[in-house]
Amino acid sequence: MMHDYSGGMHYGYFGIGWLFQIVILILFFVVIWWMIKSNGRFGFMTKESETAIDILKKRLAKGEIDTKEYERLRAEIEK
């Protein structure tokens, strides 16, 4: 019969297995926080910022401005 002299507590990785578990848990929460902060987009997948003309076109499409106002504002932007 073999005897277990560790008192029933088995620690992996030379007695510091708990440290690896904590590191993995911290990394998990950092990745979750990073994804929430970046709205699920990764650094290499970020959307380019919209130009003023793009915003103006969206406002025209939504009906916030009419074509006359659109032309006037576009001319101002392109100066």
Burial class (CB in 10 A: 0-12, 13-18, 19+), 59: middle
- Give me the number of domains the chain comprises: 2
Buried b (16+ CB within 10 A) or exposed e, 24-41: eeeeeeeeeeeeeeeeee
Q: Which residue has the higher pLDDT, 58 or 79?
A: 58
40 lies in which domain range?
13-46
42 and 53 housed in the same domain: no
Q: What is the pLDDT of residue 40?
A: 56
40 and 56 housed in the same domain: no
Q: What is the pLDDT of residue 60?
A: 92
Which tens digits make up the pLDDT trace of 4-50?
555 555 555 666 777 888 999 999 999 888 877 776 565 555 556 77
Q: How confident is the model at residue 57 (pLDDT cuts 50, 70, 90)?
A: very high
Q: How confident is the model at residue 61 (pLDDT cuts 50, 70, 90)?
A: very high
